[in-house]
Structure 1
């Protein structure tokens, strides 16, 4: 019998990116929406990306079928069921309210629907959860501020704010004001930086946004001073290997900088990003780097430990999850 996946936390996961083709078509049919693909097979053939933008174009097109609280609850529950099978014990889930409010879906519908699935996740799937509201960096700073204000009635459901979508040309400094408001409200902060964007974006995320975690961050390796800063402060980096491969951040998984990042002393953990599009969920990423990079089981356990060390957990809960990894 195959060994069960190592217990892990999933900290870099876009719930909209878990929309598998079958569910995308089912939701579209339920809501009378026509997708720009004739079949699931045709849609899957479109999952061949040249860069981040080519992925985002498809990603946003498929969101048209997400309309109701039930839709958002179903997508989240489907992800949590898969995550549990992959050894995920704790999930901190990104959502993009602007991608839905721009289509006329109220922010409350999104949060209430996701919240229904998350509220029962620990009992149903054995997965504890947090919710992270992301701002789309290719939208305006004013739109992000308006989104934050619209979310104020729901901040008791939200642990952190984040920053995602097209990185190049949209530096973190664009969003200094809304992140300051989030910190004042007691929220944690994370941001995508150093994926397609330069190391300078990681510096901005740290110094201007005050982030607690950097999502991706692989290009930090181009800046020795930045690496030293990240190591000294033990800033978590949530790395997504299969995403990096699919979006051409690396041409071959065997060339991924993950081993060098670990050797440098960076606090790196592995996550699936948008698994319906990138060919694998949480444990699939562990398996892929094991096979491509020759990582041993102790290194994989270190990556799992790092995921819990990087999570927004109280220390008692964190310690309990770490014991699960050690006894695996």
Structure 2
């Protein structure tokens, strides 16, 4: 057999192998794998991720579980998880001490003539500008992995509020440290960026739940009030439609928030304290639910708050109903992974960043 024929045969065999259909691996037995996951919140997350196509094989399934375990229950607490209603009640009890402790709360006048807020007459506490300055460092687009880039600025900001009464209360009632609060708010869920700064999801506003961020953007002409939807007679809360231009005259589009909300007159740090108490209380029993509601009174007004978590950290926190001292009563809320603001499903990157799919 001559060498030319051998070479031809080898080339032909290579082509046949290259174009031959590759047999796909059989789909994993998802139900059996999910039944082996003890954490109900994680199980829901995994099931939804499988449905939407974020997890497509067993390797991705196991990698997601491993990442979740590395981020869950940093304090090492164990024990049977309490009932969801019990968690909500306990969060409310621990948050009760926040009322009256927000020393940086300020009196705000509602404009009501095409603008939400009248110009502030009082001198602002330094914590307001510190929070806004940190917020300005974040890219408004959802899912940008930039937390590590701002590590020094984040630490500097937290140092300015470390002795604030609401922060000290939150750490005391949860038996945690400032590093734990940092991990909760600046972790995989990017809670600070979502809640305090506001984020951009295509042409929609995502998050944006601090009143003073709206005040600064409205004053600069970057935010405009739309139709007020709920709580029209309550000057302590806004729930309505608005638009936001994240970069002024820059290339980013004008964004719309069909229905957003925030309490009015409170500091950023009381929101950080509120979320920290909620997630650390829910972390009991090595279990962090994907979502939980609770009642809390800040600055003399009680509301029902919605907390969403991601990877054992805070994703979103905002008031949803209630007024006065008789906020919404409930037995609990089912753990869900879909954010009510339609943020969509997200997966955790290997470095702890938030990756949008």
With the shorter chain as reference, the TM-score category is: under 0.3
Greater Cα radius of gyration, structure 1 or 2: 2
TM-score for both structures, normalised by structure 2: 0.23
Give the structure, 1 or 2, with the largest relative contact order (CA under 8 Å, sep 6 or more).
2
Larger helix percent: 1
TM-score for both structures, normalised by structure 1: 0.24
